[in-house]
Structures are given as structure tokens and as C-alpha cells.
């Protein structure tokens, strides 16, 4: 594996062509071009799409340019991994056979450049996710998935988009709740570090976080909606980065990504 390794999550590409979506896609394409230029490896840790369900013969037309860019990234010699999130868990043979992407359905424990990584979307980890954990069990049931596939794609996608739009708790948190969630995900990461991981990377929370301990580093990737944040590992160290934009990002931090 190339030692330039990129980690990204929670892009939440929507099924519309709004100006906001165009900006999001343009920056994503530029990011993928950067991965290609450096022959890097890419881990997408869930919720790249606000909704994705894989039918045997149908893909949403609005996602076609993004899927082409992912295929170009693979053809450029980049290793691409996709870990399903709570919005796009249902990737399958199209990703593997057509795009050439390695699909994962469970958290990934892997070795990169001799370092131990634990990678997870992190949905269902928070204490107040009890209701969601029950819903996740329902949506990942093989029988339910099989039945959903019999719905006409137009109806199924409309229904799923409606449900997705109602699940916005993570974007409506108070500052106090955000900090509580941040500390909870750091605590989760520390347990994984104590179990032997050197780097723990999570998604789902939309809270850019880089926490260092004596045992290792815990990172939450933030998102590609508000922060345009991701993580980069150069074979020696892991850091949280922000994709360059014309002004400082919404956190007040100077946007930066430094690679020659």
C-alpha cells in the first residue's frame, strides 16, 4: 500500500443539483485528483452518499460523475476502500466488480506502514444512540433488504430520501451536546488504543477532532459539508486536514493541506 493514505467520511452527496451540491462535488473531485496525483490510498469511512442502495441494474443518474471519478481513482493505481455508513451501508457488487473498490461492512482493523489502525463509521457508538441501534438492526436485516429491493427505484429513493432528511440530530446539536459527543468518541478511541491500536479514525459525528495520547491518536473526520475535513497519513504520522477553500473555514481555522 502507498504510504500516502487519505481518510474521508460524511460527504453526504444528495440527489439534487443545487449550487451547494455542485460546490461539494467540485471540491470532492479536486480531492480525488490529489489522491490520484500522489498514487495514494483512500479510505471512505461511510456516508459518502446521503442515500445509496444498490440495485442490480439501476444507479441514480446524479451520482454518475462521482462514480466515474471513483473509477478513475482506481484506474490511476490508487487503492480505494469503502466502509458503509448508516446512509450507504448497501453498497455491493457494483462497487467491487465495476468500480474496483474494496467494500467493508464492519469496522476495519488493519496495518498501514507498520502501524495499527482501527477504522469505523462509528454509528451506534454514542450512549444516546440506543434507538438508532435498534433501527440499524432493522435496516441491515437481509430479509428487509431483499424486500426493499422489490420497490421501484423511484419510489424507494424518494422514501429513503424523506427518512434521511428527518434524521438530522447530528446537525442540530447544541455546543454542549457537541462537546459531550466529542468526549464520548474520544473515550471510545482510547479504549481501542488500550486494546492495541495506534490510530483510531471515526466518522458519523461531523466533529473534526484530533486527540493525542501516549498510546496513539484518535481522529474524528468531521465532514465534507461544513468543514471539508479529512485525515492524511504519510507513513509516519496522522493529521487532520482541511481542504483549501478561498477563505478560512467555518471553524475559524486556516484551511490547509500541505503536500508537495
Whole-angstrom distance, CA of residue 120 vs CA of residue 106: 8
Each residue's pLDDT tens digit, 14-60: 888 888 899 999 999 999 999 999 999 999 998 999 878 787 778 88
The sign of the torsion formed by the CA atoms of 27, 113, 97, 200 equals: negative
If one compares 194 and 144, the residue with the highest pLDDT of the two is: 194
Tell me the mean pLDDT in the region 190-202.
97
| pLDDT averaged over every residue in the chain | 85
Collapsing DSSP to helix, strand or coil, 43 comes out as strand
- Is the pLDDT reported for residue 155 higher than 80? no
Please report whether residue 87 resides in a domain.
Answer: yes
Total domain count for the chain? 1
> What is the domain extent for residue 163?
5-242
**pLDDT band at residue 173 using 50, 70 and 90 as cut-offs:** confident
The sign of the torsion formed by the CA atoms of 177, 47, 208, 217 equals: positive
Lowest mean pLDDT among 4-13, 51-60, 71-80, 81-90: 51-60
Contacts by residues 62-65 (CB-CB < 8 Å, ≥ 24 positions apart): 62/15, 62/16, 62/17, 63/13, 63/15, 65/25, 65/29
Closest CA to 43 of 243, 230, 234, 235: 230
**pLDDT band at residue 257 using 50, 70 and 90 as cut-offs:** low
**pLDDT band at residue 132 using 50, 70 and 90 as cut-offs:** low
- Is the pLDDT reported for residue 245 higher than 90? no
Please report whether residue 250 resides in a domain.
Answer: no
If one compares 49 and 212, the residue with the highest pLDDT of the two is: 212
Q: What is the CATH number of the domain that holds 83?
A: 3.60.21.10
> Which residues contact residue 54 at a Cβ distance below 8 angstroms, ignoring those fewer than 6 apart?
90, 91, 92, 93, 94, 95
Residue 162: its pLDDT value, please? 63
- Is the pLDDT reported for residue 169 higher than 70? no
Q: What does the H/E/C string look like for 241-255?
A: EECCCCCCCCCCCCC
Pairing of strands 229-233, 5-8: antiparallel
Please report whether residue 253 resides in a domain.
Answer: no
Please report whether residue 252 resides in a domain.
Answer: no
Please report whether residue 254 resides in a domain.
Answer: no
Please report whether residue 139 resides in a domain.
Answer: yes
Please report whether residue 249 resides in a domain.
Answer: no
Tell me the mean pLDDT in the region 132-149.
65
> Which residues contact residue 4 at a Cβ distance below 8 angstroms, ignoring those fewer than 6 apart?
35, 38, 39, 40, 41, 232, 233, 234, 235, 259
Whole-angstrom distance, CA of residue 236 vs CA of residue 233: 7
Please report whether residue 200 resides in a domain.
Answer: yes
Residue 145: its pLDDT value, please? 67
Task: Tell me how long the chain is.
Answer: 260
Amino acid at each position: 500500500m502507498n504510504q500516502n493514505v487519505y481518510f474521508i467520511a460524511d460527504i453526504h452527496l444528495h440527489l439534487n443539483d443545487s449550487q451547494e451540491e455542485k460546490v461539494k462535488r467540485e471540491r470532492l473531485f479536486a480531492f480525488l485528483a490529489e489522491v490520484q496525483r500522489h498514487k495514494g490510498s483512500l479510505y471512505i469511512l461511510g456516508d459518502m452518499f446521503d442515500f445509496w442502495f444498490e440495485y442490480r441494474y439501476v444507479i441514480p443518474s446524479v451520482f454518475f460523475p462521482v462514480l466515474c471519478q471513483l473509477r478513475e481513482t482506481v484506474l490511476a493505481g490508487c487503492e480505494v476502500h469503502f466502509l458503509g455508513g448508516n446512509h450507504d451501508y448497501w453498497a455491493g457488487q457494483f462497487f467491487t466488480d465495476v468500480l474496483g473498490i474494496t467494500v467493508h461492512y464492519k469496522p476495519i482493523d488493519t496495518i498501514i506502514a507498520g502501524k495499527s489502525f482501527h477504522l469505523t463509521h462509528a454509528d451506534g457508538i454514542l450512549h444516546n444512540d440506543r434507538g438508532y441501534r435498534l433501527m440499524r438492526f432493522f435496516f441491515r436485516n437481509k430479509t428487509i433488504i431483499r424486500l426493499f429491493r422489490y420497490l421501484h427505484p423511484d419510489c424507494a429513493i424518494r422514501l429513503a430520501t424523506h427518512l434521511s432528511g428527518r434524521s438530522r440530530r447530528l446537525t442540530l446539536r447544541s455546543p454542549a451536546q457537541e462537546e459531550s459527543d466529542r468526549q464520548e468518541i474520544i473515550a471510545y478511541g482510547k479504549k481501542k488504543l488500550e486494546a492495541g491500536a495506534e490510530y483510531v479514525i471515526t466518522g458519523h459525528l461531523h466533529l473534526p477532532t484530533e486527540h493525542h495520547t501516549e498510546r496513539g491518536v484518535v481522529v474524528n473526520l468531521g465532514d465534507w459539508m461544513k468543514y471539508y475535513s479529512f485525515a492524511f497519513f504519510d507513513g509516519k504520522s496522522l493529521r487532520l486536514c482541511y481542504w483549501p477553500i478561498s477563505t478560512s473555514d467555518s471553524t475559524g481555522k486556516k484551511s490547509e493541506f500541505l503536500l508537495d
